[in-house]
């Protein structure tokens, strides 16, 4: 190995190390907080739009907390766009159009109560719009070090075909590498936030078959190829086929499971 190739290898390894926390991240269960419960009740429709939340004393008694905790919780609900305190009328539930879906608690509740998969359809469309753009930009600006790291990650995916859980984690790393290399920090932050919550949902994820993982790997290899060739439009097309195709393959099974059918299998983009 030459000095130059050794240095490149070290640099590629350093780039991959930036993604290491993603591999070891574990879904964290939301605490049984007043905010979480109230968000769930609002999103589920238990507290419909224009209705008024229970009074402070009622919430204090139900949750066994102080008035201070209840007031802070209501302020957080207001910040999330779910309610508005109206003097003399109490705290009123607002229309969903104003809810902050980028808030992790709100988004998680929306996904949990997404009986027709509408919010997940929207999420996939947002992913397509942003990730396709970032894939194109990545193809234009990716450095040799980042290109080497992306190829190494594609190889890791190939090595993970017999371990669906590992494959899912390494899949996320592959997409994160592309977003980081694109330089689009805002797009990366948006996708990172919404997709992280979606991956925690059984409505978005499942148990992929070996055939589905093989197909997913082929799609990742095509994305890698287009990016390394500097083909921005090819990278857009490959990313769109992958994200849309992955969701289209599993969506009918997810709907079947929600309708009381047999649990779905899927592959995670």
Instruction: Please provide the average confidence, as pLDDT, over all residues in the chain.
Output: 84
Give pLDDT, residue 31.
29
Give pLDDT, residue 8.
39
**pTM of the full structure:** 0.74
- Residue 261: alpha-carbon gap to chain centroid: 25
**pLDDT tens-digit readout, 93-126:** 999 999 999 898 899 899 888 888 898 899 999 9
Give pLDDT, residue 14.
52
Nearest to 118 by CA among 66, 43, 65, 68: 43
Contacts of 22 (CB under 8 A, 6+ apart): 169, 172, 173, 176
- Strand pairing partners for 83? 93
Topology adopted by domain 114-258: 1.20.120
Q: Is the pLDDT of residue 239 over 90?
A: yes
Distance CA 248, CA 34 (A): 36
Give pLDDT, residue 256.
72
Q: Delimit the CATH 1.10.10.10 region(s) of the chain.
A: 34-95
Work out the percent of the chain whose per-residue pLDDT is above 90: 57
Buried b (16+ CB within 10 A) or exposed e, 106-130: bbbbbbbebeebebbeebbebbbeb
Give pLDDT, residue 265.
39
Q: Delimit the CATH 1.20.120.530 region(s) of the chain.
A: 114-258
Query: Are 144 and 228 within 8 A, CB to CB?
Result: no
CATH number of 34-95: 1.10.10.10
Contacts of 11 (CB under 8 A, 6+ apart): 145
pLDDT confidence bin for 18, thresholds 50/70/90: low
């Amino acid at each position: 190995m030459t000095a130059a190739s050794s240095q490149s290898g070290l640099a590629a390894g350093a780039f991959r190390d930036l993604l290491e926390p993603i591999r070891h991240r574990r879904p964290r269960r939301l605490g049984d907080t007043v905010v979480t419960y109230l968000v769930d009740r609002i999103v589920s429709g238990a507290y419909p739009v224009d209705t008024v939340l229970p009074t402070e004393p009622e919430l204090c008694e139900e949750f066994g907390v102080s008035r201070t905790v209840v007031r802070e919780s209501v302020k957080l609900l207001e910040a999330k766009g779910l309610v508005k305190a109206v003097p003399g009328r109490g705290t009123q539930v607002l229309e969903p159009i104003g809810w902050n879906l980028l808030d992790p608690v709100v988004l998680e509740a929306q996904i949990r109560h997404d009986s027709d998969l509408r919010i997940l359809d929207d999420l996939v469309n947002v992913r397509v719009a942003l990730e396709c753009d970032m894939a194109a930009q990545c193809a234009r600006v990716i450095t040799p070090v980042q290109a080497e790291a992306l190829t190494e990650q594609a190889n890791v995916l190939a090595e993970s075909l017999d371990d669906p859980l590992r494959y899912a984690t390494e899949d996320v790393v592959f997409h994160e590498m592309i977003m980081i290399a694109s330089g689009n920090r805002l797009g990366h932050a948006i996708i990172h936030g919404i997709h992280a919550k979606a991956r925690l949902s059984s409505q978005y994820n499942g148990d992929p078959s070996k055939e589905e993982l093989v197909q997913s790997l082929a799609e990742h290899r095509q994305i890698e190829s287009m990016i390394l060739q500097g083909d921005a439009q090819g990278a857009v097309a490959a990313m769109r086929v992958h994200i849309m195709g992955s969701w289209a393959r599993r969506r009918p099974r997810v709907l079947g499971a929600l309708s009381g059918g047999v649990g779905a299998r899927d592959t995670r983009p």
